[in-house]
Structure 1
């Protein structure tokens, strides 16, 4: 497993220590969990933004978010997403869904 180093503000170090105590886990484990959760959240946010703006199709948004198409539909429902996709885009999504 590769290692990285990063400088963080004192406030973040204090918060990290608080979460380490809360979870009763070592600092490396907490950092890995926070990074994974943060990256997942970031991918989903980007997918939502690009889908809402009409830049990506449903299938592409699911891929960007790193989730299945079914999971993406749930995310879209939870966020009341609408889109400006064309009928051709929607047809491409249907074809992609059929391929699953």
Structure 2
């Protein structure tokens, strides 16, 4: 397991302390949890953008986001992202 060291602004440190207290976590666990959640959000957003741009299929975007096709389809629907296109329709239907 790698180690990360970072300087953060005072206001962010105060927010982290509040998070640690509310979630009853130690600092390392809290930072790992926040990084995991943040990176997961980033992966989902990146996959949604690539899907909307037609750069990938629904199943490809789901894999990028580390989600099932059905979960990702629901996310795309919630975000009003169109994912059905003639170019990818057959592949997406096969994957479903």
The question of a shared fold, defined as TM-score above 0.5 by the shorter chain, is answered with: yes
Q: Deviation above 3 Å: which 4+ runs of structure 1? A: none
Q: Partner residue of 1:4?
A: 4
Partner-residue secondary structure (3-state), 1:39? helix
TM-superposed deviation, 1:42: 0.5
CA 1:83–1:74: 2 relative to 1, 3 Å: closer
Q: Partner residue of 2:92?
A: 93
Count how many residue pairs are aligned between Structure 1 and Structure 2.
96
Partner-residue secondary structure (3-state), 2:54? coil
Unaligned runs of 5+ in 2: none
Unaligned runs of 5+ in 1: none
Question: Is 1:14 aligned to residue 14 of structure 2?
Answer: yes
- Is the Cα contact below 8 Å between 1:52 and 1:81 reproduced in 2? yes
- Is the Cα contact below 8 Å between 1:43 and 1:64 reproduced in 2? yes
**TM-score, normalised on structure 1?**
0.85
**What is the CA RMSD across the aligned residues, in angstroms?**
1.5
- Is the Cα contact below 8 Å between 1:58 and 1:93 reproduced in 2? yes
Encode CA deviations 1:45-94: one digit per residue, 9 max, x unaligned.
Answer: 11111111222110111011110101111101211211473x24111122
